[in-house]
Structure 1
C-alpha cells in the first residue's frame, strides 16, 4: 500500500508537512459542506402535483407558478453540497459521478496512499482522525477522487472501523466518507460486505449519538437502500425501528435522511408489511396532516412518496385514511376548466344548508354595500368545528381551481387511472366534492369511488356530509352513464352507514331513483349479477337501510342533528307549532311518505321475490328486509300476495348449506362457516318476514303451514350460528300456533316448543353464561336454565351436559350470588340423577368447589353435600 520511500518517516511529521504545502486544498480546519438534495425521478404509476394542492399556501404567491414534482418520487442519493439537486436514479448517479472530475483533485492524488495508510489500526488515534477527515474532504471532489481511495484493498474496512471512534469528528468523517463511496453504484456492494450496515446499526442504537454522526450514517443507508437487495437487508434488520424513531429527531436533516431511506424501502413491495408493523404510517402521516411548510419540504415529499406506495395496498390504505389522509385521484388540470364558482349568490354551507340572513341585508342602502358584503349580512351564530373545516376546505380548493393551481397541466398520455395524491381530510373531502361538480365523466366516477373507499369511519362520513358530498351525489343517480350510477350508489351506501347521513340521503330525494333502478325492466341483467352482485347489493343496502323497520325505533334514541330533516319531521307531527313553519314541514313529511309509497309497486315486489329465489344470500337478506317494510305499510297485503311470496321464502329456507349437503372436510371448514353465516343472515331475515306475514289472515289462508314448519325445524337443528336462530324459532312458534289452530284434531302434541327449547333456548342461555360479563345477566340465565331442567323437558339435561355448559356453572358456584349458586347447584343435582353424566360433571372440576361450600357451611352446604354423595368418589 505504501512505498518504501515513506518507511522511515514519522507519519505525524509527514502529514503536517503535506497539510502546510497544500493547505488550500486539504485544510483540516474546514468542515465538510452540507449534503446536497436530489432531484426526484419519475415513477410510471404516479403523476405530478404541486405543493399548493394541500391548499396551504400564502395568498401573496397564489398566482405564481409553483415548482412541480412527482408523486411516488424516490430520492436515492444523499451526497452533495450547498443543497443543490443532483441526480437520483442509479443510472444517473453512476454517469454523473463519472463526469464530476475536477482538476483541483489531482493536486493531492499522490498523497492518497499516505492518508489511507494513516487509517491503520497501528497509528495514533489523532492521526487516524486527521486522515479520515482529510479523505472525506477529498472524496467530495467527485467520482475520480473516490476511485483513487477505493483502489487500495482493505481501505473500506479501516473506514468502517472508525465509525465506532471515540472522537465525534472521526466518526462523522467515517460515516460521511462511506456516504460518498456508497453514492457510486459499483461500490455499494463493497460497502455492504464490509459490515457497514451492521456497524451503523450499532452506532444508531447509542442513546447519546451526536446529531452530525447520525445524519451521515443514515444518509449512507439512504444511498445503500437505492439497491433493492440491500434495501431488503436494511428492512429486515434492527435498523427499521431506529429509522422510525429518527423521524422524531429535533434536527430536520436527520428526519429527512430517515424519510429518504423509508421512501426507497417502500419501492419494494415485500418491505411494506415490515414497515407498517414498525409504525411508519402514523409517523409519516403526521408530517402531511401538519400541512406543507417550505422548511420541511424534503421530509414532506419523502413522507408523501412512502405513503403513496403503501396506499397501493387496500388494507394499508385504510390505515392511512384512519390517520386523516384521503386518497384523491389525479384527473388533470384540463378537467377543472368546467369549474364555475358561484360568487354572487347568497352564501351557504357546503352541505347546502342556507345561512340565515340578518335584517341588515334587507334594509335599504344608498350604495348597495349590504348586497356586496354578503358575509357581513349574516346573523352571528356559532358554527361547529366540522362545518368550519368544511368551509375552509371548500374555499381553498375553489381558489386553487380558479387560479389554475389545483393540478399541473399534464397530457392524457401522462395520466392513468391509478394516479392519486394524499391530502388531509379537510382538503381531500372538499376536493372530491368539487370534482363531483365537473363535467368530466371519468373524473366524476373516480371521485365517487374515492369517497366510497374513504368513508370507513364516522369521522370521515361526517366530513363528507359537511363538505356537501350527499348534495352532489344524489342528483348523479339520474346520470346517463351507468358506471357513474354504480359508483354513486356505492358512495351513498357507505355514507348511509351513519344514521344522520341516512336521513339526509332520504331527504335529498334518493328513493325515486333507487326504486326506478330496481324496477326498471330495461335494466341490464348484469346490473344484478355484476361482480358477485356488488352493484345490486349496494343499491339494496341503501334502500334497505332507508326502509329499515327498526329505524323508527332507533330514531327515538337519537338526538344528533340531521341537517334539519328530523326537525321538519318532528314539526310536521306538531302542526300547532308557534314558529309558523308547520305547513312547510307537513309538505316535507308528505313528500317523504309519498316517495316511500312508491315501494308498493308490483314490479318492485316481483323483482325482490326474484332475488329471494335466485340471488346470493347477501341479496336475499336485503330483499327480505324491504319486503318486510312493504308488509308493514301495506295492511291489505295485496301487492305482496300478488307476486307469490311463498316461492321466495321457500327458496331461502331450502339452501344447500342448511341441509348439510356440503363437504365436512377440515380444509373447507372456514369456507363452510362463512357460507353458514351468510345463509343464517338470509334465513333470519326471511323468518322475520314470515313472522310479519303470518299476522295477515289472507296470507295464513294460503300458506302451506306444514311445509314451512318442516323447513324451519330443519333450520333450527342445523349448524348455522346461534344468533341467527332467534327469528327462526319465533317464526316456528307462530307457525306452530297456526298449525295447531287449523288442525285441532291431531293425536300427537306438536314437538315444536320442545325443539325450540333444545336447539335455541338452552344454547342461547349457555352462551350467555359463558360470554356475559354482567353478574345480573348470568344470574338470569342460570335461573331460567334451572327452570327449564326442573320442568323435566325431554333431553334438556343431556343438552346442557353436552353443550359445555358445566364449566360456566362451576364458575358461578365459586363466585356467584346466593340465588345464582342455588340455581347452579340445582342444575348439577338434576344432571347427577343420570349416571351417564357423572364423568362429565367430575371433569368440570366441581368437586373442590362443592367441598369448599360444605367446609365453610354456606347456606347451600346441604345441597352441595347431597351432590357430593351422589357423585362417585
Structure 2
C-alpha cells in the first residue's frame, strides 16, 4: 500500500477571485509542490471536492445545494480508497492555517458528520480533532462558531464520544461563547444544542447549575426564535434531573418562565412544552417547589392509564348539575350521550349567573368528562399512555381548571391505586385558599368523605390527608362538616387497627372542626367594626353584621356532635396524647377542651388518666428553670421552646376547665400541679404560654388555697414571671402609642404595689431598661417611665445598662427644657455616675 503523502503548510501567491476560497482552492493552497502526489489520487480528491462544494451553504449557497443522503453515501463508499480525505480537512482546522480555510473545513466536516454515526466516527478518529474544533469557538466569525458548535453538537450526540468532548473543554468554551453579545440565532441554536447533549453528564449539569451562566440560560427562554427556546429548555431539563440542582434552578426563577411556556397553546411550542413539563415535574418531587409550581396555576395530576377510565360511565339522559351536587333548572330534554351537560359547561358563562369558582368548576368538569367519554383523556404527545406499572407512576401537569376537574374525576373511578394517587395529589395542590375553594366547588369534598368508609386503608389515609389540607379553609371546613365527616372519623378512631399516621390525620381534621378559634377572631373583628367577614356555606353567602347575638349563635356548641364523642373515643384521645408529638398534643387538647362540657365526659377523662398526661406535659415544661440568682438564660432551640409553650398553654386551658368540676378536683394532686406550673413561669418558654399557666395557677389557688411552704405567694410569682415580662414586651413591640403608654402605666402600678426591689429586678432581668428609655425619648408616659427608671437606678448594677441605653443626654434635655417632669428627670440624673 502506498504511503500517505505528507502535507506541510506552504502558502502560495495565488489570486483568489471569490471572497471565500472553494474547498478545492483550499486544498491547492496547502499542497506541498515537492510532495509526490499521484495524478490519480489528486483526481480522486478533485472529484470529492465537488461534494464538498455542495455541502457548504455558509456563504449564501442555495438550500438545494445542501448534501443529500446519496452524496454522503458516496463519500462513505470512497473512504477506503482515500482515507486521507477527512483527515485533510481535519488538518485544515490547524491554528497555523488561514481563518477562512479553517472556516471552510469546519463547515464541511459539520455537514459531513450529519451523515450518521459512521461519519462521526470517521471525524473523531483523528487525534486532536475535537481540540481544534473547540478552539474555533473563540473566533469572531459567526459562521465558524456556528459550524464548530454544530459539529460538537453532532459528535456529542453519540454517547461514546461525549466524554472526550467534555474533556477537551467544550463546555467552558460554549458557555463563554453564549455569554457574548450580538450572537446570531443560528449560533445560539447550535451552541445550546451541543450543551443540551453534554449536560446529560451529571458533573456537567452540576457545573452549569452552580455557574453564573444559569440566569443567562433561563433568559434564553425569552428568545424570539423557537429553536433557541427549545435548546435552553432541553439544557434545563437535563439540569433538573439532578436533585442537587433544584434549589439553584428555583432561585434563578425558572418556574414562572417554564410555567408560562407550558400554558402556551401554540402548536409550534410542542417541543419546548415537553421540556418545560419535564423540568417542572422533576422540581415537583420537592414538596416546597411543588407549591411554587401550583402557585403558577399548574396542578400535578397522576397518569392512571386508559383502562382505569373504563369505570367512568355517565348516566344516560342525565340532567346537568353543578359539581357540588346542585341541580340546574330543567328547560329541555337531556341528551343520551351527555351532550347537554357538555354544552352547558362550555357555555356556562353566558347561560347562568354563577360565581367565578362555580363556573370554572363546571367548565373543567365538562371538558374532562368529554375527554373520558371519547377515550382521549390521557393523550400525551399524540399517543395514549400505557397502563403498565412504570407508566402508572408518572404524572403530568395541567392548568388548574382542568387539573382540579381531572383529580375529582379520578376520585370517582374504581381503581384503588388511581384513587389513592388522586387524593394525595389533591392534598399537594390544596396549598392556597383559591385552590381549596376550587376543589370544594368541583365536588371533591363529598367524594373524599365517602372514601373515609372505604375498605382499603391506603385510600382512607389518602382521603384523610386531602381533607386535612382542605380543612385549612374555614369555608371548606364547614362544607366538610356538613357532608357528615364526623361519623366516619369517629369510626376510624374506634378501630384498633388504625395506624398512627391515619390517627394523626383524623385528629388534625377534628381539631379544626372543634376549634372555632380562627372564626371567633374574625367575628370579633366584625363586631368591633374593624372589618366585615363574609361566611359562605355550601349554598349561599351571608354577610355577618357584627352583633353579640349573632356571635353567641355562631359559637353555640353542637349537642349532636358532642354526644358522638363517647368514652371510648375519649380514652383513645388520652392514649394518643401520652405518646404524641407536641403538635398533635395541642390538637388533641383542643378537641378535649371542646367536649369537656358535661360530668359524663369529665368522668371518662378521669378514667382514661388525663391527670397523669397533663402532669407529664407540665413536667416537660418545667424541666428548664432559670434560677433567681442566674442572669444567663438557657440556650434552647427556639422552635422546640415554641412547641413546648403551645402544649403548655393548651394543657393549662384544659386544666382550668377541668377544675370547674368537683369530681376532678377531688382526685388530683394540687401541690404537684402548683409546683410544676410555678417552675414553668420561671422557664424560658414563650410569654403566651406563661399567661395561660399563670391563669391556671390563680385558679388552683382559688380552689385549694395558698401553699406557703413553696416560697413566694402565687400572685407574686405570677407578677414577677408573667405580668412584668408581658408588659415589658408590650412596651417593646407595640406599634401603638396608646398601648405602650397603658403598659408603662400598668407596670408602674405593679412596681408600686408589689414591691420595689423584686419588681425592679424582674424588669431589669427581662430587658425593660432599653424600651423604657426609648419611651422617655419619644415623650410617652413620662411620669410612669421616669418613676420606674428611677427605681431601677437605686440598684447600681443597673447603671451601666441605663447609660448604655442613652438615658443621660435624654434626661439632660428634659431638665434644660424645664418640662413638667424636669425635676423627676433631675433626680434620676443625679443617681447616675455622670
Instruction: State the TM-score, normalized to the length of structure 1.
Output: 0.79
What do the CA deviations read for 1:767-803 (whole angstroms, capped 9, x no partner)? 2333334444333333322332233435111111111
Choose from 231, 239, 254 the match for 2:205.
231
Residue of structure 1 equivalent to 2:697: 732
Partners of 2:626 and 2:767 in 1: CA distance:
25
CA deviations 1:624-648 (Å, max 9, x no partner) are 222222234x4xx233234417941
1:406-460 per-residue CA deviation (whole Å, 9 max, x = no partner) reads 23353544455x4322222222221111111111222222222222222122222
Once residues 773 and 101 of structure 1 are traced to their aligned partners in structure 2, the CA distance between those partners, rounded to angstroms, is 83
* Partner-residue secondary structure (3-state), 1:326: strand
8 Å CA contact 1:361, 1:377 repeated in 2: no
Secondary structure, aligned partner of 1:478: coil
**Is 1:482 the equivalent of 2:443?**
no
Q: Is residue 3 of structure 1 aligned with residue 30 of structure 2?
A: no
User: Is 1:628 the equivalent of 2:593?
Assistant: yes
Which residue of structure 2 aligns with residue 305 of structure 1? 278
C-alpha distance in 2 between matches for 1:671 and 1:446: 40
Q: Which of 27, 30, 40 is matched with 2:54 structurally?
A: 27
Which residue does the alignment assign to 1:440? 415
Q: Cα–Cα, structure 1 residues 23 and 560, in superposed 2: closer, same or farther, change >3 Å?
A: farther
Aligned to 1:16: 22
Q: Does 1:786 align with 2:748?
A: yes
Give the drift of 1:751. 1.4
TM-fit CA distance, 1:662: 11
Change beyond 3 A, Cα 1:808–1:28:
farther
Would the alpha carbon gap of residues 300 and 2 (structure 1) be closer, same or farther in structure 2, given more than 3 Å must change? farther
Equivalent position to 1:348, from 321, 337, 340: 321
CA pair 158-598 structure 1, distance change in 2 beyond 3 A: same
CA 185–631 in structure 1, closer or farther in 2 if over 3 Å, else same: closer
Measured against aligned partners, the alpha-carbon deviations of 1:737-780 in whole angstroms (never above 9, x if no partner) come to: 2234xx8x989997122111211122222223333344443333
How big is the shift at 1:478? 1.6
Aligned length: 770
**RCO (CA 8 Å, sep 6+): is it higher in 1 or 2?**
1
Give the 3 Å change call, closer, same or farther, for CA 699–281 of structure 1 in structure 2.
Answer: same
Give the conservation status (yes or no) of the 8 Å contact 1:179–1:217. yes
CA deviation after TM superposition for structure 1 residue 183, in Å: 2.4
Q: Distance in 2 between matches of 1:859 and 1:263?
A: 72
* Residue 789 of structure 2 corresponds to residue 813 of structure 1: no
Partner residue in 2 for 1:265: 239
Residue in structure 2 matched with residue 51 of structure 1 by the alignment: none
* Alignment partners' CA distance in 2, 1:301 and 1:266: 14
Task: Give matches, 1:127-276, under 5 Å.
Answer: 127-276=101-250
SS in 1 for 2:406: helix
* Aligned mates of 2:153, 2:120 — CA distance in 1: 11
Structure 1 portions without partners, runs of 5+: 34-79, 85-97, 576-585
Q: How far is the alpha carbon of 1:188 from its aligned partner? A: 2.9
Look up the match of 1:830. Answer: 791
Q: Is the 8 A contact 1:602 1:642 kept in 2?
A: yes
Q: 2:502 aligns with which of 530, 535, 541?
A: 535
What RMSD, in angstroms, separates the aligned Cα atoms of the two structures? Answer: 4.1
What is the rounded CA distance, in whole Å, between the counterparts of 1:751 and 1:609 in structure 2? Answer: 33
2: CA distance between counterparts of 1:779 and 1:759?
Answer: 21
| CA apart distance, 1:595 | 3.8
Does the residue aligned with 2:780 lie in a helix, a strand or coil? Answer: helix
In structure 1, what is the equivalent of residue 673 of structure 2? 708
The answer to whether the Cα contact below 8 Å between 2:479 and 2:537 also exists between their aligned partners in 1 is yes
Separation in 2 of the partners of 1:336 and 1:371? 19
Q: What is the correspondence of 1:240-639 to structure 2 with a 5 Å cutoff? A: 240-288=214-262, 290-291=263-264, 293-342=266-315, 344-355=317-328, 357=329, 360=331, 381-407=352-378, 408=384, 410-415=386-391, 418-518=393-493, 520=494, 522-524=495-497, 527=498, 530=499, 533-550=500-517, 553-554=520-521, 556=523, 557=526, 558-564=533-539, 593=558, 595-632=560-597, 634=598, 637-639=599-601
Q: How far off is 1:728 after superposition?
A: 1.5
What is the CA distance between 1:841 and its match in structure 2? Answer: 2.3
Matches within 5 A, 1:616-765: 616-632=581-597, 634=598, 637-644=599-606, 647-655=609-617, 656-660=619-623, 673-696=638-661, 705-740=670-705, 751-765=713-727
Deviation (angstroms), 1:724? 1.7
Contact 1:657 1:675 in 2 (8 A): no
Question: 2:57 and 2:416 mapped to 1: Cα distance?
Answer: 61
Deviation at 1:212, TM superposition (A): 1.3
Judging changes above 3 Å, is the alpha-carbon distance between structure 1 residues 101 and 560 closer, same or farther for their aligned structure 2 residues? farther
Residues 654 and 126 from structure 1, CA distance in 2 versus in 1: closer, same or farther, beyond 3 angstroms?
same
Q: 1:563 to 1:371 in 2, by over 3 A?
A: closer
Distance in 1, Cα, partners of 2:648 & 2:471:
24
Q: Does 1:846 align with 2:811?
A: no
1:804-831 per-position Cα deviation (integer Å, ceiling 9, x unaligned): 22222333333x2x33344333221110
With the length of structure 2 as denominator, give the TM-score of the two structures.
0.82
Deviation for aligned residue 1:730: 1.6
Question: How many Å separate the matches in 1 of 2:186 and 2:816?
Answer: 73
Kindly tell me: are residues 308 and 685 of structure 1, through their superposed partners in 2, closer, same or farther at Cα, counting changes over 3 Å?
A: same
